[in-house]
Structure 1
Amino acid sequence: MTGTDADVAAAAVAGDSDALAEVLRRVQDPVYRLALRMTGRRVDAEDATQEILIRVMTRMSSFRAEASLVTWAYRIAVNHLLNLRRQPREDLTLDGYREDLLRQSSYDGPDSAVLAEEVRLQCAQALLQCLDRPGRAAYVLGEVLGLAGQEAAWVLGVPAATYRKRLERARDQVRGALRGRCGLLDPAAPCRCSRRIGQGIEKGWVDPVAPVLATHATRGAARTAGDLGRLRDVGDLLRAHPDYAAPESRAQAVLTLIRSGRYPGLLPDEP
């Protein structure tokens, strides 16, 4: 189905089945990528995404086109994600993260290239979990997803000055965590992804049989190893993830629920 966000949203509110599916198609991947960066783990991101998509679909009548559907969905998503129960990786600290980057060992098993990529992706996820939730949300929206300042502040529901302060503090923390450690950013730094495979397997955040992020389904062309050779700063490193695809089973479950007519009406609007 084609049309502007406003047209599609209006048709969805009127009960058009194709429009409902189109709303989901437009927002499901962006919402999932936001949830994955905020929660740090695929299983938690999938659960959160399903809950968020239900909220998006049941709040369609409140869409006023003051922002795109995706940005509007981000606002609903952030409100949900900031109020989740504490996640396992949120026990990480920036000091502990820096120390872990120095704990390296050799790995002689199979699939070392794939597992080194898994280390890189999981390491970036872990770094984000070291930030407090408000700072993490500001950093993910502005630095990773690339929202403009006013847009990100609207998503967060805070004044632009508050958003800028949170973003700058998070940037300083991320830079400080990787300064003098990450070999992808500084050839003289000691940490190499390939040398942390053993540690990752031992601690359980790298599965040598079924890596979670390095083999994740994506949309569009996958990034190549050469892309990492063009990193300019920490922001580039944190953005250098594949365009992960939301699990279709979760989106279809939401669509089936909404189409069934059994869902008990509209939820209250977000504050």
Structure 2
Amino acid sequence: MSDDPARSTVTDPELLAEERELVERAVGGDKAALEDVVRRVQDPLYRLALRMTWRPADAEDAAQEILIRVVTGLATWRAEARLLTWAYRVGVNHLLNLRRRTPQEAAGLSLDAFGEDLVAGLAASDYVGPDAELLAREVRLTCTQAMLQCLERGERVAFVLAEVFGLASADAAWILDVSPAAYRKRLERARTRLRSFMDATCGLVDPAAPCRCARRVTPAVAAGRVDPRRPALATHPVSPGGRDLARASAQMGRLHDAATVLRSHPDYAAPRARTEAVLSLLDSGRFPLLSDGR
């Protein structure tokens, strides 16, 4: 169900002790331990950044900055939460305050306006050109990313933590530093808005709804939103052993559920060049492991 389960409130004491020992070694200068920490959090943090920023290039920039904040703040981790849960907290704080806005944020695009654009831009028939199935999946992935950007950032991250990463309310509330009750209210607003939008618009959720991914391919290519030569999300590398596009799509099954459609992305992997760049910066001595990661 979830991309990256990371519990803070219900934690295996042995696992937490193992993570504490790993972090102590990393902070103490053990390069192998530091690389292990990076491997554990790099892909989940990238997936978080991608869901919040929409485009892979922007997610790469954000994830690299978050990873630097995480590894340079390791000395402040007190094992009050799982290492990944704490890393999510660092990442969410950065993403909520990111100055760069997505195109939807900059345009003030609402779900209503987005839905009108989708329906108005439908082709008369399904796309049947080269790589038709792949491009229809690219449209779906791009569209669900765009839907999330129509939410206010606080609602967006609440939905992502619950419905995409499968975190419990107490864990997500801790990540956002709000009360569980306040978090649940925020989450319900996001769920209600997205459910209403997709029930009325998305043919994957309701067969009677007007929008069809295969009928959006030609308009999306013409508008430059999808590159048929290099689909950004449908061909994105995935984590070793993670869900690829076919497996993620298959998990939708016949559920016709808004959350299922939004969650059914592959387990995208963070670009390894960015991770190596972070490790190189740490080796340079410019970023000692002393700063506050929150």
Kept in 2: contact 1:143–1:235 (CA 8 A): yes
Residue in structure 1 matching 2:111, options 83, 94, 97: 94
For residues 12 and 180 of structure 1, the distance between their equivalents in structure 2, rounded to whole angstroms, comes to 50
- Which amino acid letter does the alignment assign opposite residue 41 of structure 1? R
For residues 287 and 265 of structure 2, the distance between their equivalents in structure 1, rounded to whole angstroms, comes to 36
For residues 156 and 230 of structure 1, the distance between their equivalents in structure 2, rounded to whole angstroms, comes to 33
Match of 1:215 in 2: 235
Match of 2:222 in 1: 202
Deviations 1:152-208 (A, max 9, x none): 001001111111110000001101111132111112222110100012112221111
Flag structure 1 segments of 5+ consecutive residues without an equivalent.
none
Give the alignment's TM-score, normalised by structure 1. Answer: 0.94
What's the offset of the Cα at 1:148?
Answer: 0.5
Kept in 1: contact 2:142–2:233 (CA 8 A): yes
After TM superposition, the structure 1 stretch with the greater mean CA deviation from structure 2, 105-114 or 52-61, is 105-114
Kept in 2: contact 1:97–1:177 (CA 8 A): no
What's the offset of the Cα at 1:269?
Answer: 4.4
Kept in 1: contact 2:92–2:176 (CA 8 A): yes
Deviations 1:24-73 (A, max 9, x none): 00000110000000011111100000000000010000111111111100
Structure 2 residue 51 is the aligned partner of structure 1 residue 37 = yes
What's the offset of the Cα at 1:258?
Answer: 0.7
- For the residue of structure 1 that corresponds to 2:147, the secondary structure is helix
Match of 2:9 in 1: none
Kept in 1: contact 2:122–2:211 (CA 8 A): yes
After TM superposition, the structure 1 stretch with the greater mean CA deviation from structure 2, 86-95 or 246-255, is 86-95
For residues 41 and 208 of structure 1, the distance between their equivalents in structure 2, rounded to whole angstroms, comes to 16
Structure 2 residue 172 is the aligned partner of structure 1 residue 152 = yes
After TM superposition, the structure 1 stretch with the greater mean CA deviation from structure 2, 34-43 or 175-184, is 175-184
- For the residue of structure 2 that corresponds to 1:228, the secondary structure is coil
What's the offset of the Cα at 1:87?
Answer: 2.0
Identity %: 57
For residues 265 and 237 of structure 1, the distance between their equivalents in structure 2, rounded to whole angstroms, comes to 40
Kept in 2: contact 1:40–1:89 (CA 8 A): no
Match of 1:247 in 2: 271
Structure 2 residue 255 is the aligned partner of structure 1 residue 235 = no
For residues 58 and 208 of structure 2, the distance between their equivalents in structure 1, rounded to whole angstroms, comes to 36
Kept in 1: contact 2:169–2:184 (CA 8 A): yes
For residues 201 and 269 of structure 1, the distance between their equivalents in structure 2, rounded to whole angstroms, comes to 41
